[in-house]
Every structure is written in C-alpha cells, then in structure tokens.
Amino acid sequence: MHRTKVRVVEDALDANNTIASANRSDFDRSDVTVVNLMSAPGAGKTTLLERGLENLAEEGLRVGVLEGDVQGSFDADRLSVLHIPVVQLNTDNGFGGECHLDANMVRSALPAVPLGELDVLIVENVGNLVCPAEFRIGEDSRIMVCSVTEGEDKPLKYPLMFRACELVVINKVDLLEHLDFDVDRLEANILQVNHHAKVMRVSAKTGEGVDEFRAWLKALPARVAAEAAHDHDHDHEHHDHADHEHATA
C-alpha cells in the first residue's frame, strides 16, 4: 500500500447547496418567492403565521406553508383555519427526527406543494437556533422569530442564525410589562451581529405590529424579483449585455 494525498478543497455543504439550487430553480420556474422561517422552539413562528397570513389572499398575496416538524402535524392543523395550502413535512423519516430541514427534505416534499397556485411559500423550519442556519433549502429570504422570553444575549450566542437572516421579528412584546427584559438591548445585540437585519417588534397574540410583518411579506416578491434582475445583469447572462462585456473587455 502507499498513501496518496488528494487535494479536495470543497465546501462540505456543497451537496446540500446543489440540491438547494435545484429547489430554487423549481421555485423560480413557478415564480414563487420562498421564505425560510426559523426560530428557537416556542418563539411563536406558527402563531405569527396564524395572525400574519390571515386573509392575505384577499389582499392579493397567495401564500402557502410547508410545515417542518420533527413529528406530528400540530402546526399544520393550527394553520388549517387559514384555508391556504399547508403541507406537512416530518423529519423523522428514517433518521430518527432531524433537528432542521435540509434541501433534500424540502425537495422530497415539493411534489405535494401546489407551487403554481402560490406567490409566496413559507417554509417553517424545525424550532432550533443552530442547525437550520447551516442548511440552505433554496430560499429567497431567511427570517427568524426571536421572543422576549429568550434573553437579550441570544444574538451573541447564536450569531450564525442571526447573521443568516434579513428580518428578525421580536415576538411576544405584549409580555414585556411582566418581564425584566431590555428589548432595546436585544435589538442592539441583533444589529451588532447583523447590521443589515430589519427588526420588527410584534405580538402575534394581540396583533401588535403584525401589520408591519404583513406589509413586509407583501412587498417581498417584488423586491426579490428586483434583486434577481439586478444580479442577472451583473452575471452578464443577457446576450446583449454579454456581448457588450466582450466588446469592452
């Protein structure tokens, strides 16, 4: 036997990212904007959706939800009152209950999702502040819910998650009067870790701030499309644009 060194230099998450790109192509083909919604367990993702997605179709936005859970269909059942497409995805198929969704799990659920009927698909990830931040699923936007019962220091302890998200919804602000919690400090910590994050203060229970979330969601497809068009120009994928680049190169 003799030993050979093989140079690899490959991101260990490339396999996941490749499948995420395939998902992304499917979403783009159907013109669906996809949101990866993440949080710690119990932060209020499902409650935010219950309040935030109510009657959005009447306001011109067709939203569906892909519910990721380790087990059961409790969240999907709660959302059934919204009369929108909700697809349950359990992560316990064959591997004892994954703590996050990865691109392949989402891919396996896509045949059940009526992409052609949707403007926005929200993928509710498994409640966890660590692993979901590592695995792209083909989403256009990542958002997280962070509740005021969790501690102001969470952005500093889980910077991977807070840095991955463009919107952080601070939930359960109706509880602030009962808590010794400095919500300004939480917001400052979020911005220290991710200066670009948009931060909203919401009570999914009372409805406070939920309109801002709904407005953000309604504006998302147009914003994502505009950003994609911008990137597209920069990728020189337009023929005329590419020719132009060659001519000036």
Partner 1 sequence: MHEFDLSSAIVATVNKHAEGRKVTHVTLRIGRLRQVVKDTLEFYLAIVGRDTPCEGATLEIIDVPAVLVCKTCQNEWEIEIPAFICGTCGPGAVEVKTGEEFMVESIEVEDEEDAACTAPR
Contact set with partner 1 (CB under 8 A): 1-16, 98-100, 102, 128, 130-131, 134-135, 155-156, 159-160, 163, 191-195
- 1 vs 247, beta carbon nearer partner 1: 1
User: Minimum CB separation from partner 1 for residue 126, in Å?
Assistant: 12
User: Minimum CB separation from partner 1 for residue 7, in Å?
Assistant: 5
Report how far apart, in Å, the C-alpha atoms of 104 and of each of 110, 114, 137 are: 10, 18, 8
- What's the CA gap between 158 and 76, in Å, rounded? 27
User: Minimum CB separation from partner 1 for residue 13, in Å?
Assistant: 5
SS (H, E, C) 108-167: HHHHHCCHHHCCEEEEECCCCCCHHHCCCCCCCEEEEEEECCCCCCHHHHCHHHHHHCCE
- What's the CA gap between 127 and 94, in Å, rounded? 20
Q: Give the three-class secondary structure for 91.
A: coil
**Tokens representing 53?**
């997605």
User: Minimum CB separation from partner 1 for residue 10, in Å?
Assistant: 5
- 112 vs 156, beta carbon nearer partner 1: 156
- Residue 46, exposed/middle/buried by CB under 10 A (0-12, 13-18, 19+)? buried
- 195 vs 239, beta carbon nearer partner 1: 195
- What's the CA gap between 101 and 243, in Å, rounded? 41
In this structure, is the dihedral angle defined by the CA atoms of residues 20, 24, 30 and 34, taken in order, positive or negative? Answer: positive
User: Minimum CB separation from partner 1 for residue 142, in Å?
Assistant: 15
User: Minimum CB separation from partner 1 for residue 3, in Å?
Assistant: 5
- What's the CA gap between 66 and 180, in Å, rounded? 35
User: Minimum CB separation from partner 1 for residue 4, in Å?
Assistant: 5
- 36 vs 194, beta carbon nearer partner 1: 194
